[in-house]
Amino acid sequence: MNIPTGKIESNEFYIGVAFKRANESARLIRLKTSGSRLQKSQMVETIKLETIKETLSDFLEKIQRAFPNYRELSPFYQELIKCYFDVGDFRKSLAAMMWASEKINEFYKMYKHKIVKCTQLQKINQFRTEFYGRASSTMRQINKNLQLLEEARKILNDFPVVKKMNTVCIAGFPNVGKTTLLSKLTKSKPEIASYSFTTKRLNIGYSNDIQFIDTPGTLNRFEKMNTIERQAVLAMRYVADKIIYIFDLTEIYPIEDQLKLLDVVKEFKKPVIIYLSKTDILDDYKEFAKKHNAVTTIEELKQILSS
Mind listing the pLDDT tens digit for each residue in 101-141?
999 999 999 999 999 999 888 899 999 999 999 999 999 99
Cα angle for residues 164, 169, 171 (degrees, 5° grid)? 160
Going by pLDDT thresholds of 50, 70 and 90, the confidence category of residue 202 is confident
Q: What is the mean pLDDT of residues 85-101?
A: 96
Q: What is the mean pLDDT of residues 257-264?
A: 90
Counting Cα atoms < 13 Å in the Cβ hemisphere of 253 gives 20
* The predicted structure's pLDDT at residue 198: 45
User: What torsion, rounded to 10 degrees, do the Cα atoms 130, 132, 138, 143 define?
Assistant: -140
Going by pLDDT thresholds of 50, 70 and 90, the confidence category of residue 40 is confident
* The predicted structure's pLDDT at residue 234: 92
Going by pLDDT thresholds of 50, 70 and 90, the confidence category of residue 35 is low
More confident residue, 283 or 78: 78
Least confident segment among 84-93, 135-144, 175-184? 175-184
Give which of 177, 248, 249, 241 is closest to 214, Cα–Cα: 177
Inter-axis angle of helices 87-117 and 37-66, nearest 10: 170
Q: Which residues contact 35 (CB under 8 A, 6 or more apart)?
A: 43
Q: What is the mean pLDDT of residues 148-162?
A: 91
* The predicted structure's pLDDT at residue 272: 96
Q: What's the Cα-to-Cα distance from 39 to each of 26, 103, 130, rounded to whole Å? A: 13, 27, 20
* The predicted structure's pLDDT at residue 194: 38
Domain ranges of the chain: 11-157, 167-306
Task: Tell whether domain 11-157 is in CATH 3.40.50.1000.
Answer: no
Q: How many CB atoms lie within 10 A of CB 202?
A: 21
pLDDT tens digit string along 213-246? 998 766 666 566 777 778 888 999 999 999 999 9
**What's the count of helices (H) and strands (E) in the chain, helices before strands?**
11, 5
274 vs 176: CA distance, rounded Å? 13
Least confident segment among 4-8, 110-114, 165-169, 269-273? 4-8
* The predicted structure's pLDDT at residue 195: 39
For 68-80, b/e burial (b = at least 16 CB within 10 A) is eeeeeeeebbbbb
Going by pLDDT thresholds of 50, 70 and 90, the confidence category of residue 189 is low
Inter-axis angle of helices 87-117 and 143-157, nearest 10: 130
Going by pLDDT thresholds of 50, 70 and 90, the confidence category of residue 34 is low
Going by pLDDT thresholds of 50, 70 and 90, the confidence category of residue 307 is confident
215 vs 231: CA distance, rounded Å? 8
Q: What's the Cα-to-Cα distance from 253 to each of 140, 170, 230, 260, 286, rounded to whole Å? A: 55, 17, 21, 11, 19
39 vs 128: CA distance, rounded Å? 15
Is the pLDDT at 193 greater than 60? The verdict is no
Q: H/E element holding 205? A: strand 203-207
Give which of 268, 228, 198, 218 is closest to 80, Cα–Cα: 228
* The predicted structure's pLDDT at residue 37: 81
Q: What is the mean pLDDT of residues 209-213?
A: 92
Prediction pTM value: 0.81
* The predicted structure's pLDDT at residue 169: 95
First to last CA, the chain: 31
* The predicted structure's pLDDT at residue 246: 93
* The predicted structure's pLDDT at residue 26: 87
* The predicted structure's pLDDT at residue 219: 63
Q: What is the mean pLDDT of residues 285-307?
A: 87
CA 158 to chain centre: 6
Going by pLDDT thresholds of 50, 70 and 90, the confidence category of residue 281 is low
Task: Tell whether domain 167-306 is in CATH 3.40.50.300.
Answer: yes
